[in-house]
Structure 1
């Protein structure tokens, strides 16, 4: 980057830094949201709550459906990254 370009774009540095930080936060949130190990632990927790009578079967089924959809999306994402 040249001296003039550097001086002219200097006021945008905080904006670029904020955008970069937001992108890193988004990537980390997606990694956690699609983490297969975390999803499996949540599925196990649903089983425990259902067995303990804390969740009715309809609620448990809805939660399991959501988690299974995330798990399938996670598998698709991993296959896409491997290509």
Structure 2
């Protein structure tokens, strides 16, 4: 790259860092949404809430559908 290239690219280095940070955050969020262990834990929490009477069967069904559609990346309209 050399000294001249370094001088011209130095001012945009913070912008590149912010863009990369955003990409890393997006990757982490996608991993958390689609990680089977996390999804299973959320489904188990829903099941427990249903057994405890905190939510109805219909609410549980809707929540399960939302979780699974988020995991698979599909949207139902």
TM-score of the two chains, using structure 1 as the length reference = 0.80
Moved over 3 A (4+): none
Deviation at 1:13, TM superposition (A): 0.6
Query: Do residues 54 (structure 1) and 51 (structure 2) align?
Result: no
Deviation at 1:55, TM superposition (A): 0.3
The Cα RMSD (Å) is 1.4
Size of the aligned set, in residue pairs, is 73
Listed as ranges, the gaps of 5+ residues in structure 1 are 75-83
Query: Do residues 30 (structure 1) and 49 (structure 2) align?
Result: no
Report what 2:8 is aligned to.
8
* 3-state SS, counterpart of residue 48 of structure 1: helix
Query: Do residues 70 (structure 1) and 56 (structure 2) align?
Result: no
